[in-house]
Structure 1
C-alpha cells in the first residue's frame, strides 16, 4: 500500500520569476534540513528544454518510536535525486525527486509541475504530488503515516523557502529565465558536462 498526497497552489508571481527563484531557494531559513546541493548533470536541448539533475543531502531525524526499532548507527542523512525539465515552449517546470538511501524503511517519490496558465498572467500554477511507501513488515502503515505527516510539514516549509527566494529576487534586479538559459547554454554545458556524462531516464 502506498500513501498518496496531492496539492494545488496558485503562486501569484510570473512563471519566469518563479523558475529563477526555484534555482536560488537554498539556503533559506525555512529549509535548514537541506545540507548540500550539487548539480551532477545539465543540458540545454535543441528544442529549448533545460534538463538538470541535482543531488541533495538532507537530515533525517527519526521519530522516537523508530529509534527502538532500527540500529543507532543508521545514517541520519538522506540523499535525494532531483531531476528537472524546464520547457520554454510549454512554459512549464517539472521536477521528479526520490530518496536514494533508506528506501526499505521509507521511499518518498515526488513530482512537481510549475505551469504558466494560459491567459492568466501574472500567475504560476503548482501541482505537487507524492507517493510514500515502506517495506518494513508489520510497521509499514505507521511509517507511511509518519512519512506523510513529515512530507506535508516539509512542503509547507518548501513553499516558504520559495517565497523567501522570490522576495530576494524582487527586492533587487530579477534574474529572467531567458538570461539564465543563455548562461547555461554558453557556460555551464561547455564547462561542466563531461562527454561521458549520461542523463538517466526521466
Structure 2
C-alpha cells in the first residue's frame, strides 16, 4: 500500500473521531506537521513506531493502515490500551477546557452535562448492582393493617397532647442532641 493511501486512512479516521491534527500529535508525541505529512503521504520513510502510535490514538488496528486485507478495528484491545486511550481523550478534553475563560468553562460544563441526558452519548453501565427486592412486610398483607407501626410524630396515632409535647421538648433540647 502506498503512503498516500495510508495517509488517507489516517485522515479519514481522525475526522471520523472529530480530532484535530494537534490532538493526535499530542497523543503520539510528535509535531502537528508530522501528522499532517503522514496524512498527505509526503513522508518517504514511514516509521513503524509512529504508525503504531497513530493507530493507537485513532483506536484502529495498526496493520489496517498498511494492508488492505486487515480489519480496521480490533475487538481484542487489551484493557491497559483502552485505559491509555481513555486517558489520552481526557487529556485532550482537559487541555481544551483549560484554554477557556471562566464563562467558556461554565458553558462547556453545561454542554457536557446536557450530553449525559442523550442516550446515544451515554456509555452503557455494565456495573449496575441489582438490589434485592424488598420483602413484603406483615402489615402490608390485607387484614393486617393494624400491625403497621405508628411513629411518635404521627398525628393520626393515639397519643395525648402531653406525649406530643414531650416529643417536641426532646426535639428542641439542644443538650439532648450533643
- Name the one with the larger strand percent: 1
Shorter-chain TM-score: what band?
Answer: under 0.3
Structure showing greater relative contact order (alpha-carbon pairs closer than 8 Å, 6 or more residues apart): 1
**What is the TM-score normalised by the length of structure 1?**
0.24
Please say which structure displays the higher CA radius of gyration.
2
**What is the TM-score normalised by the length of structure 2?**
0.26
